[in-house]
């Protein structure tokens, strides 16, 4: 998983983690450690994405089918942005029922992603699983009752038995790369047993979010009910299906209230002393998500905005004209930054070299500056804009942990932000589903003109997402996507500024370079998903492949 070069004069060394596990896709992180602290960092996406090339000369109405398959984790978000960019190009407003169903599908995506991230992709950075084998199950049950008396009863002794069987078998599966015994872990055996049991319980709970997707989206992953012009699941907008959706939503809200939220608060309290000031970044960007009405003037439930230098007192509106992508340090032809509407995706692999080109990711910038996107950006922007639900939950979290708003600019801040917006969205979805109109309109027939251009922006669970389309002769002439993990994990830009993940690693103390759990805590807090950022090339031969799709 990692390798370390020999230190120079005993003070400086290079550490490479390749691949980063417990993420989607292929990510390589290299850091320079000087006197036990990260002094420099490089983030490299190691596979090439070719979807934009595949889309050229295709029917704009078909783009969402291809883009949605960028990833099996964000199963809906690219389809949503794709239909929105075409609808923007042809100036089409969708009916109210279509807007509400799309909000419910996106909300289900958030709930699913955030639960899976906290428990199954990130928890092992904080939880020593094997330590749970020495826990007292009765004491763990007492802790659980104190933490959340309304949570479901759980078999902590049964969890210990399952863990012991895994250890005895030598086939530890997802726990095989745990840094057991590392001094950066602070949980007691009972706390580790509690969180490990919740890890297993959450595996069952996340399925309910997928089932909600199936009700209005036909299946999960890769939903089937959206189209340019609206949705096609009008037959599912009936009392039986709506009630089924509400049941799953209610059960997930109970899980969030009684397990997820208390767990995040508890973890933050245990790690606040050391992790409320590590892994920070300065700038934040959100495009906004969840339209509240059938026209843009109605606004968004999660507002868009830009924050510079952690200044919550000055949230600027987003100007899409200021978005650009840099390729100076990436494996693409050209050296100039381009707006996505005029972007190019022409691969030019030159070999991995941190002194020049070192990533398949481009480097998105806003007015020349790198921007962190994702839950923390959304929560801070909503908090600064006095969005009532977010303000209430942020205030509760700060009260329960003794932290300050400034402490949110951190690794723990990202963990908290995911929980805060999960509860916010889950609660709000209960009112959205009641707004569905039986037998209401769900679709408007689109008309594709000879030429047009448009953009579809929104918020994937991992952050700001934009699709840009140019239509010529009623076909796709150019299609570009700027995705969350490109914003967060992109390399240096033309002016040499590090990307958000690279910058957030600077200054991090690393106790044991052979077990760099500190670095993984920061990297995983961004929830990297490289599948939609990069795709296929043969690294051994350098050969590129032509993909032919037969209609």
pLDDT at 10: 56
State the catalytic residue, choosing from 324, 485, 504, 525.
Answer: 485
State the catalytic residue, choosing from 85, 233, 493, 532.
Answer: 532
Q: What is the DSSP letter of 335?
A: -
State the catalytic residue, choosing from 14, 24, 378, 418.
Answer: 24
Q: How far apart are CA 67 and CA 482, in angstroms?
A: 12
Q: Which residues contact 546 (CB under 8 A, 6 or more apart)?
A: none
pLDDT at 343: 86
State the catalytic residue, choosing from 22, 32, 52, 74.
Answer: 74
pLDDT at 3: 54
Q: How many domains does the chain have?
A: 1
For residue 174, pLDDT over 80 is answered with no
Within-domain flag for 539: no
Specify whether 233 is catalytic. no
Q: Please state the rounded mean pLDDT for residues 189-206.
A: 97
Specify whether 24 is catalytic. yes
Cβ–Cβ under 8 Å, residues 346 and 49: no
For residue 415, pLDDT over 70 is answered with yes
pLDDT at 545: 34
Q: How confident is the model over 319-348, as pLDDT tens digits?
A: 999 999 999 999 999 888 999 999 887 889
Specify whether 521 is catalytic. no
Q: How confident is the model over 230-239, as pLDDT tens digits?
A: 999 999 999 9
Within-domain flag for 537: no
pTM of the model: 0.93
CATH number of domain containing 259: 1.10.645.10
Q: How far apart are CA 206 and CA 473, in angstroms?
A: 44
Specify whether 529 is catalytic. yes
Helix 239-255 / helix 96-116 crossing angle, nearest 10 deg:
30
Residue 255, CA atoms < 13 Å, CB-side half-sphere: 26
> Which has the closest alpha carbon to 9: 27, 28, 34?
34
User: 12: exposed, middle or buried (C-beta count within 10 Å: 0-12, 13-18, 19+)?
Assistant: middle
Task: Choose the weakest-confidence range: 259-263, 292-296, 430-434.
Answer: 292-296
pLDDT at 455: 98
Q: Please state the rounded mean pLDDT for residues 390-404.
A: 98
Share of the chain above pLDDT 90, in %: 83
Within-domain flag for 542: no
Q: How far apart are CA 269 and CA 288, in angstroms?
A: 30
State the catalytic residue, choosing from 14, 22, 26, 78.
Answer: 78
For residue 537, pLDDT over 50 is answered with no
For residue 195, pLDDT over 50 is answered with yes
For residue 173, pLDDT over 80 is answered with no
State the catalytic residue, choosing from 85, 233, 493, 529.
Answer: 529
Of 52 and 311, the one with more pLDDT: 311
pLDDT at 236: 97
Q: How far apart are CA 97 and CA 545, in angstroms?
A: 42
pLDDT at 166: 86
Within-domain flag for 538: no
For residue 9, pLDDT over 60 is answered with no
Count the neighbouring beta carbons within 10 Å of the beta carbon of residue 167: 14
pLDDT at 32: 97
Specify whether 503 is catalytic. no
pLDDT at 543: 41
Within-domain flag for 370: yes
Dihedral of the alpha carbons of 191, 194, 196, 199, in degrees to the nearest 10: -130
Q: How confident is the model over 269-290, as pLDDT tens digits?
A: 999 999 999 999 999 999 999 9
State the catalytic residue, choosing from 26, 43, 71, 112.
Answer: 71
Residue range(s) defining the domain that contains residue 178: 2-532
pLDDT at 63: 96
Task: Choose the weakest-confidence range: 58-62, 218-222, 278-282, 431-435.
Answer: 218-222
Within-domain flag for 541: no
State the catalytic residue, choosing from 99, 114, 414, 462.
Answer: 462
Of 436 and 69, the one with more pLDDT: 436
pLDDT at 72: 72
* H or E segment and range at residue 482: strand 475-482
Q: How far apart are CA 97 and CA 289, in angstroms?
A: 17
Q: Please state the rounded mean pLDDT for residues 416-438.
A: 98
3-class secondary structure, 171: coil
Specify whether 493 is catalytic. no
Within-domain flag for 359: yes
Within-domain flag for 334: yes
Q: How far apart are CA 313 and CA 359, in angstroms?
A: 35
Q: How confident is the model over 96-148, as pLDDT tens digits?
A: 999 999 999 999 999 999 999 999 999 999 999 989 999 999 999 999 999 99
For residue 212, pLDDT over 60 is answered with yes
Q: How far apart are CA 8 and CA 468, in angstroms?
A: 47
Average pLDDT over the chain, rounded to whole?
92
Of 286 and 181, the one with more pLDDT: 286
Q: Please state the rounded mean pLDDT for residues 69-84.
A: 89
Q: How confident is the model over 446-494, as pLDDT tens digits?
A: 999 999 999 999 999 999 999 999 999 999 999 999 999 999 999 999 9
For residue 259, pLDDT over 60 is answered with yes
């Amino acid at each position: 998983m990692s390798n370390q070069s020999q230190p120079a004069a005993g003070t400086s060394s290079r550490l490479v983690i390749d691949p980063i596990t417990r993420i989607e896709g292929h990510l390589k992180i290299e850091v320079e450690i000087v006197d036990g602290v990260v002094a420099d960092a490089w983030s490299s996406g190691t596979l090439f994405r070719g979807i934009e090339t595949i889309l050229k000369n295709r029917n704009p109405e078909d783009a969402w089918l291809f883009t949605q398959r960028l990833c099996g984790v964000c199963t809906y978000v690219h389809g949503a942005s794709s239909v929105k960019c075409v609808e923007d190009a042809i100036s089409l407003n969708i009916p109210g029922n279509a807007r509400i169903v799309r909000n419910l599908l996106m909300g289900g995506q958030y709930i699913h992603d955030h639960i899976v991230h906290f428990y199954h992709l990130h928890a092992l950075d904080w939880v020593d699983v094997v330590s749970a084998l020495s826990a007292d199950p009765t004491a763990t049950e007492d802790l659980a009752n104190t933490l959340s008396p309304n949570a479901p009863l759980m078999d902590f002794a049964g969890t210990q038995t399952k863990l012991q069987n895994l250890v005895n078998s030598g086939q530890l599966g997802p726990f095989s790369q745990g840094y057991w015994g590392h001094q950066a872990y602070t949980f007691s055996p009972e706390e580790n047993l509690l969180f490990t049991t919740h890890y297993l319980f959450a595996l069952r709970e996340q399925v309910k979010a997928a089932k909600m997707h199936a009700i209005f989206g036909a299946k999960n992953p890769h939903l089937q009910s959206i189209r340019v012009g609206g949705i096609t699941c009008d037959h599912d907008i009936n009392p039986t299906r709506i009630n089924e959706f509400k049941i799953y939503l209610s059960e997930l809200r109970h899980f969030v209230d009684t397990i997820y939220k208390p767990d995040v608060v508890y973890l933050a309290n245990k790690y606040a002393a050391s992790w409320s000031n590590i892994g920070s970044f300065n700038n934040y960007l959100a495009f906004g998500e969840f339209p509240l009405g059938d026209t843009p003037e109605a606004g968004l439930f999660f507002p868009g905005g830009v924050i510079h230098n952690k200044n919550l007192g000055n949230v600027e509106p987003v100007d899409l004209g200021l978005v650009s992508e840099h390729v100076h340090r990436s494996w693409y032809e050209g050296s100039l930054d381009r707006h996505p509407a005029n972007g190019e995706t022409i691969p030019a692999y030159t070999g991995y070299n941190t002194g020049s080109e070192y990533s398949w990711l481009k480097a998105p910038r806003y007015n020349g500056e790198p921007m962190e996107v994702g839950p923390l950006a959304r929560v801070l922007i909503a908090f600064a804009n006095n969005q009532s639900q977010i303000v209430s939950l942020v205030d509760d979290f700060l009260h329960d942990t003794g932290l300050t708003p400034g402490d949110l600019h951190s690794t723990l801040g990202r963990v908290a932000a995911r929980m805060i917006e999960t509860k916010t969205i889950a609660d709000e979805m209960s009112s959205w589903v009641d707004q569905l109109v039986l037998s209401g309109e769900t679709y408007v027939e689109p008309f594709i003109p000879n030429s047009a251009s448009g953009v579809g922006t929104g918020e994937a669970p991992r952050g700001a997402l934009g699709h840009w389309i140019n239509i010529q002769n009623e076909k796709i002439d150019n299609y570009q996507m700027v995705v969350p993990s490109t914003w967060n994990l992109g390399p240096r830009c033309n002016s040499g500024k590090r990307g958000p993940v690279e910058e957030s690693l600077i200054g991090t103390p690393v106790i044991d370079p052979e077990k760099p759990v500190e670095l993984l805590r920061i990297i995983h807090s961004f929830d990297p998903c490289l599948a939609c950022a990069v795709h296929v090339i043969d690294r051994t031969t350098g050969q590129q492949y032509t993909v032919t799709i037969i209609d």
